[in-house]
Chains A and B, each alone.
Chain A
Amino acid sequence: MLKEIRPAIFVLLALTLITGLIYPLGMTLVAGSIFPAQAEGSLITRNGQVIGSSLIGQEFKDDKYFHGRLSATTTADPNDAPKTVPAPYNAANSSGSNLGPTSKALADRVKEDVDKLRSENPAQPVPVDLVTSSASGLDPDISPEAALFQVPRVAKARGIAEDRVRALVATATEGRLIGLLGEPRVNVLALNLALDAATATK
C-alpha cells in the first residue's frame, strides 16, 4: 500500500497542472483569439462607453423603455454587512427569488404587479413572464407577448405611433432555433437600443 503514496502525490500534481492550469489558461488564449467578442462577455459599447452585455439583462424603470423580467438579485447592505438589500440586475451576484408555489410573499407580490399592469394596459391579458422573477435575476429576454403588452405605454411616453413601436418589436423578436429549440423571445436591451436609435433620427 505504501507504494501508492508516490503516485498519489505525483500523478495528482501532474493531472492538476494539466487540468487546473494548462487547460483553462490554454483555452483562454485560444478562445480569446478565435472568438474575442464572446470571450470578453459580448459587451456593447455606445459612443466609446460600455453600456452592458448583450447577454445580461439590465434594469429599466423609465416608461419610455421596455421593461425586463423582475430580478431578485441583492447586494450587501452598506449599513449592516452580512445582511443584504434588493439590488435588481446585480450582475456580480446572480440569484433567483427562491419563493415556492405556496409562498404568501410570492402571491402578494404577483397580485400587486398584476393589478398595476392591468391598469396600465387593460386590453390584453397580463403575460406571466412580466410578473415572475427570472432564475438568474439577469434574464436578458422577455416573451414577444410581454413586449407587445408594453407597446402602448412606450409609444405614449415617446409620443410616437404604436405601429412604429410594434414594428420594432417584430424586428427584435427571435424565434426558436431551427423552429424547434428554445422559446420565442425579445432581447430587452437590443430592443431599447433600436428604439433609441429610431427616435433619435427623427
Chain B
Amino acid sequence: MTVIGWIQILLFCAVVVALAKPLGWYMTRVFNGERTFLSPALRPVEAAIYWIGGVDEKREQHWLTYTVAMLLFHVGGFLIIYGVMRLQALLPFNPAGQSAVAEDLSFNTAISFLTNTNWQNYGGESTISYLVQMLGLTHQNFLSAATGIVLAIALIRGFSRASARTVGNFWVDVTRCTLYILLPLCIVYTLFLVWQGIPQTLGPYVEATTLEGAKQTIAVGPVASQVAIKMLGTNGGGFFNANAAHPFENPTALSNFIQMISIFALGAALTNVFGRMVGNQRQGWAILAVMGVLFIAGVGITYWAEASGSHVLNALGLTGGNMEGKEVRFGIVASSLFAVITTAASCGAVNAMHDSFTALGGMIPLINMQLGEIIVGGVGAGLYGMLLFVVLAIFVAGLMVGRTPEYVGKKIEAREVKMAMLAILVLPLMYLGWTAVAVVLPQAVASMANAGPHGFTEVLYAFTSATANNGSAFGGLTGNTFFYNLTLASSMFVGRFFMIVPAMAIAGSLAEKKSIPPSAGTLPTTGGLFVGLVVGVILIIGGLTFFPALALGPIVEHLAMTAGTVF
C-alpha cells in the first residue's frame, strides 16, 4: 500500500460526499414535481408522454397500484429485450452479422438487464448487434435504474408522509427520473467519455494490420452512450466482454476515476434526498455514515490483500502485488477500489478480473454483495435495502429498552419488521440454496474454471452476484449453460422482486401511520450510537448467514495460499 494510493481513495470519498448534497437537492425537486432549470426544454416531452400514455399526473397511487404498474412496466421491458435478441439477425445495425441469440441465453439476458443485474453470460462484441446494445440494453439500463430510484422515493414518501393513502404516481416518477435526472447527466457524460477515447460509432469492426504484420479485428460500436448509463444507473453490463477493463470502455486514469464517482453519485445523493424528504438532512448523513464505515473497511482489506499479492507468485521472486487480471493504467489501487465500489453499489462493472484477485481481496466484493449491497448500493435499491436494515436495527434497539421502536416519527411495528425480515432472508435462500445444488450436480461443477476452493467460490460468487443484482463475476465460470442460464435468472428475479414488493408494502403501511413527535425516550437516529447500532446489526445478521459458506471458499483458499498449496 502506498501513500499516493490512499490519497486516491480519500479523494474519491471526498468527491462523492461533496456531490451528495447538490445532487440530492436537485433530485428532491424533481420528485416533488417542482420546476427545474431543464423544465423549459423537457416539460413538453414529459407532457407528451403523459398524453399518449393516458396518465393523469395529478392522480397518485396506492402502494399496491404503484407496485402493479412497476411490474407491468417490466413485462413490456422483458418482451422488448427478448424480442430484439432473438430477431437481431433480421434487424438493422448489425455490421458484424451476429446471428440470433439462443433462447436460454436471451431469457437470462432479458431477466438480467430488467432486474438491473446485468449479469452477462455472453461476450458483447462476439454475440450481439449494435441494435441490441442500444434498443435492448442501453434502454433497459435507463429504465431499470429509474425503477430502482423511484421505488426508493416511494419508500421515502412512506416515511415522510402521515396518514396518507398514496405513495406517488409510478408513471410520473419514472418519466421524470429518466428525463430530468438520467438523460441530461448521460448526455454530458457520454461526451466526456468520447473525449477520453471511448468509441461512439455505428461503423463496422476495424480491420488493422499490426506492426508485425498480423491481422487484428478491432471491435467498436456505440460504446460511450451505453457506458454512461451503465455507470450512473449502477447497471454494470459491459459493451465488451472485458467490461470496464477494456481500453475502449475505460481508456484512462481520469475516465476510471469519473466512472467510479458515477457509480456512487446517485446512490449517495439518495441518502440526502431521504434526509430532505423526512425534514432533517442529518438523518440522511447518518445513513451515509453507516455506509461509509463499512465501505472504508472493505477498501482497506482488499487494497491490502492485492498489494501483498499471492504468496505462490511472491515465492518466485515477484514484487509489486497481484497484477494477474489487472490493467497497468489502473494498477493495484484503482483496481481494488473499483472492485469494492462496484460490489458495494449493485453496479457489477469491473476494471479487473475478480476471479484472479487474491482470496481475501476477492472475498470483500463477495461480502459486499451478500450484505445486500446496502453500502450506497444500486441506485435506489441500496437505499431501500439499507432502510430495511434500519427498521431491523430500530426494532432490536426497541426490544433492548422495552419500547415500541420508532424511526423518523413513525412507529415500527410487527408488519414492517416481518416484511423487512422476508426481504432480508430471501437473499441467502437463493444464493446459498442454488450454490448447494450446483456443487452436487456434475454438469454444474464442470463449469468451474479453477480447481480447489476457488472453484467453489466461483459458483458462490455467481449466485450471490445474481441474487444481489450485481452482475460482476468470477468470470472463469462458464455461465452460458442451460443450468446456469435458468438458475441464475431465477436468482436475479427473486433477488429483485422479493426485495421490492416487501419494501413497497412497508412504504404503504408507513404512509398510513400518524407521525409522532420525538419524545425524551426516542432513540436519536442521527448520532454515532445509531450508526454503530446499524453497522452492528448488518454485520451480525450478515455474518451469521454467510460465514460458513465463506469458510469453505475464500477463507480456506487464503490458508492454502499462505501455505503455498496450488490446485
Residues of A within 8 A of B (CB): 1, 3-16, 18-21, 23-25, 27-28, 30-32, 34-35, 38-43, 49-53, 55-62, 65, 69, 89-104, 106-107, 110-111, 114, 125-129, 131-143, 176-177, 180-183, 185, 189, 192-193, 196
Contacts and interface: CB of A to CB of B under 8 A. Distances in A.
**What 8 pairs between A and B have smallest CB-CB spacing?**
A182-B253, A20-B139, A98-B476, A135-B245, A183-B331, A94-B242, A8-B72, A100-B454
Given A15-B49, A96-B475, 11 more contacts: A14-B48, A15-B178, A21-B134, A49-B209, A52-B210, A91-B218, A92-B126, A99-B324, A128-B313, A131-B318, A183-B331
A1 B247 CA distance: 47
A12 B207 contact: no
Contacts, number: 393
Interface stretch (B16-24, B431-439, B445-453, B537-545): B445-453
A106 B449 CA distance: 12
A10 B53 CA distance: 5
A7 B53 contact: yes
Interface of B: 4, 7-8, 11, 45, 48-49, 52-55, 65, 68-69, 72-73, 75-77, 80, 123, 125-126, 133-136, 138-139, 142-143, 171, 174-175, 178-179, 183, 186-187, 190-191, 194-203, 205-212, 214, 216-220, 222, 224-226, 229, 240-242, 245-248, 251-254, 256-257, 309-310, 312-313, 316-331, 334-335, 350-353, 355-359, 449-454, 457, 474-476, 557, 560-561, 565-567
B8 A100 contact: no
A131 B325 CA distance: 11
Residue of B52, B196, B317 contacting most chain A CB atoms (<10 Å):
B52
B562 to A, nearest CB: 10
Given A94-B242, A107-B313, A183 B329 contact: yes
29 contacts: A4-B72, A6-B54, A9-B76, A11-B53, A12-B80, A18-B179, A21-B134, A32-B201, A38-B196, A38-B199, A52-B210, A53-B248, A59-B214, A92-B217, A94-B125, A98-B476, A99-B476, A101-B310, A102-B454, A102-B560, A102-B567, A106-B312, A111-B316, A128-B320, A132-B326, A136-B247, A177-B254, A182-B330, A185-B328
Contact of A24 (B53, B208, B214, B226): B226
A92 B210 contact: no
B225 A23 contact: yes
B327 A136 contact: yes
A133 to B, nearest CB: 6
B178 A97 contact: no
B206 A12 contact: no
A52 to B, nearest CB: 5
B52 A128 contact: no
Nearest to A113: B316
B358 A101 contact: yes
Contacts of A136: 240, 242, 245-247, 327
Given A9-B76, A89-B216, A101-B358, A134 B208 contact: no
Contacts of B310: 101-102
B328 A98 contact: no
A94 B452 contact: no
Given A7-B55, A40-B220, A141-B329, A94 B200 contact: no
A137 B248 CA distance: 12
Contacts of B54: 3, 6-7, 10
B205 A92 contact: yes
A42 to B, nearest CB: 5
A136 to B, nearest CB: 4
A51 B65 CA distance: 58
A21 B242 CA distance: 25
A96 B242 contact: yes
